[in-house]
Amino acid sequence: MGRTYKLDGRGAVELARMGVILEEAKDISIALGDVGYPSQVENRKEIHDLGRKEYVAGLHDKLAAIAKFLGTNEWMAGSRLTFVDFYVYDLLDRQRLLFLPKHLNRFPTLIAYLNRMENLKGVKEYLNLDAFRPMPIYSPFAMISGRADYKPSE
């Protein structure tokens, strides 16, 4: 898909940056999924609560790493939008929707990045559709955001 829309990497530096941030974002996404879908059936609520607490405790460091990686660049690979930006946008948007704003608001560069993504032609129009719904993110079986009326918390 990235190649089709010319959103793939160009050159060694861009490709390396894309690979690094994609793997970091995947790790964070998997950790968040583990919070939403505890693997144990017994004591599921307790396991979720503990996992959520641990996730939130590390959230600042996770967001700080992404902000540091982005630095003064406009996009994750550098000066050019790539498919990785859509993956990272989705991850950051989930943080914004699932947790209190105080976490993401500590990083103005990430807020500016989200705004750039949301103002892209096509993205902006999609987000303004009447049919667009930010929630639920996960299925009704998830312990986090499985309902349209989900409210962010710690």
User: For 78-132, what is each residue's pLDDT tens digit?
Assistant: 999 999 999 999 999 999 999 988 999 999 999 999 999 999 999 999 999 999 9
What is the total count of domains within the chain?
A: 1
**36 falls within a domain:** yes
* Structural domain boundaries, residue 68: 11-127
In the numeric block, which tokens belong to residue 5?
Answer: 């829309």
- Residue 30 belongs to a domain with what CATH number? 1.20.1050.10
> Is 40 contained in some domain?
yes
pTM of the model: 0.91
Would 151 be classed as within a structural domain? no
Q: Residue 147 and residue 137: Cα distance in Å, rounded?
A: 8
Burial category of 85 from C-beta neighbours within 10 Å (exposed 0-12, middle 13-18, buried 19 and up): buried
- Please report which confidence band the pLDDT of residue 38 belongs to, taking 50, 70 and 90 as the band edges: confident
User: Judging by beta carbons within 10 Å of its beta carbon (0-12, 13-18, 19+), is residue 98 exposed, middle or buried?
Assistant: buried
141 with 37: CB under 8 angstroms?
yes
Q: Chain centroid to CA 102: how far?
A: 15
